[in-house]
Amino acid sequence: MIDMEWLDNDMSKGLRLAQRNPFTTTMELGWKEVDDIISLALAYRELKASKERLGHSIFKDNTQVEEESVVIEDGENYGGTK
């Protein structure tokens, strides 16, 4: 379990996260760091949901994808990826 506390009384500085089992470990985060963690957690959750929705094989091994080329309208040719 992780306890969450405000760094100050008016909530302007950020959060303190504390894990108290078996030893107390704390981490103080400013609001930018909190926002970054929330964005990262949401992106991971969306990736995991997409992985389940599309099938696990898509994300396992990309070496089975054959090389393709993409042709741009002006005639330039860009190589695909493996």
The pTM of this model reads: 0.54
What 3-state class would DSSP assign to 63? helix
pLDDT band at 52; cut points 50, 70, 90: confident
Query: Helices (H), strands (E): how many in the chain?
Result: 2, 5
CA 60, CA 62: separation in Å to the nearest integer? 7
Q: Is the pLDDT of residue 82 over 50?
A: no
Cβ atoms 40, 48 nearer than 8 A: no
